[in-house]
Amino acid sequence: MSKTNKPAYGGQAVVEGVMFGGKNHYVTAIRRKDRTLEFFKLPRKTNEKLGTLKKIPFVRGIVAILEASANGTKHLNFSSERYDVDPSNDHKIEEKNGQSKMSMIFGVALMGVLTFLFGKFIFTLVPLFLAELTRPIFSTDFSQIMVEGLFKLIFLLAYIYFISLTPMIRRVFQYHGAEHKVINCYEGGLPLTVENVQKQSRLHYRCGSSFILFTVIVGVFVYMLVPTDPLWVRVINRIALIPVVLGIAFEVLQFTNSLRNVPVLRFLGYPGLWLQLLTTKDPENDQVEVAIASFSELLRMEEETRLETEQIV
């Protein structure tokens, strides 16, 4: 299979592991306390209505983001429950979760979506109120929007920087780097070995970190279309425009990814790559091993499903 015909895979770092998603499956591999690897696998369920929405530009991004938040939280919950537990005590986890497995999974997914939405509201409104405090100095709509965007950017960078100082988040960022390196190695057509993967860049154009930054940039332009005064109108506009900003930012992310091999235009994705210098760290070899194991298992399951489908047809 040529590089250009390879399917696009996505991933997410979790606590002491990496999750990868394909067309039919999601797979997470984590490093347990005894240094063994454990996998968590879920089918990628298809929904006809969601499938239709994913084909609509500017709408598909919102659906994809909410779906990723719900699914990613399930895998993050799995990793955080087990990474520091000795495997001999797994029965305690199963006893806690076994009574209502389906309701627990649904609850975790819902919590992931709600957490994302709450975070987006905070990230949108706090810079707004800070900018409003500067209105005596920056009174025009244009200056207010620029100051608001500046506060939002500072808020984002400061938040990422300070959480990266904690040992656990730093390791998550290392696994994030391992995830990108594995994808880059695969898309480069190289065998998935620790040596080959470690040679790859820890940055990737399709990363969700880039998406977050694009929401800031896109927001500045979208907010130019609505008034900033009075304050209550500004607040309502910002809340109402959250889906619009998310939808456009997703399309911008897809657009910059499609241009990453065009020498003159690839720079359009650089701001997102620069942010990844904060959200990714160079992984250790054993972390790369976890990422390779997760991705290899996903590839195996995807190929198995493809062969089964061909036999049915």
Mean pLDDT in runs of 10 for the chain (313 residues)? 65 91 91 89 78 77 77 80 71 53 47 57 86 91 92 89 89 94 94 96 87 89 89 90 89 83 76 89 96 95 85 66
For residue 247 the two structure tokens come to: 């939808």
DSSP 196: H
Identity of residue 101: K
Residue 9 pLDDT: 87
Q: How far, in Å, are 36, 292, 313 from residue 95 at the CA level? A: 22, 31, 41
Helices (H) and strands (E) in the chain, counts: 12, 4
CA distance linking residue 40 with residue 80, whole number of Å? 12
- Continuous segment of H or E residues that includes residue 37: strand 37-43
Q: Which one, of 53, 10, 32, 28, lies nearest residue 187 by Cα?
A: 10
Residue 90 pLDDT: 62
CA distance linking residue 235 with residue 247, whole number of Å? 19
CB atoms within 10 A of CB 140: 11
For residue 51 the two structure tokens come to: 């499938």
CA dihedral 152→54→298→110, nearest 10 degrees, is 60
Give the pLDDT confidence of 39-81 residue by residue, as tens digits: 999 888 776 676 777 678 878 877 877 777 777 778 888 888 8
Q: Which one, of 180, 171, 160, lies nearest residue 279 by Cα?
A: 160
3-state secondary structure of 27: strand
CA distance linking residue 306 with residue 23, whole number of Å? 10
Residue 99 pLDDT: 47
What are the φ and ψ backbone dihedral angles of 255, each rounded to 5 degrees?
-65, -45
CA atoms within 13 A on the CB side of 142: 0
Residue 102 pLDDT: 47
Q: Report the first-to-last Cα separation within the chain, whole angstroms.
A: 22
Residue 268 pLDDT: 79
DSSP 225: T
- The pTM for the full model equals 0.84
Strand order of the β-sheet with 25-31 is 10-14, 17-21, 25-31, 37-43
Residue 110 pLDDT: 47
Give the pLDDT confidence of 279-290 residue by residue, as tens digits: 999 999 999 999
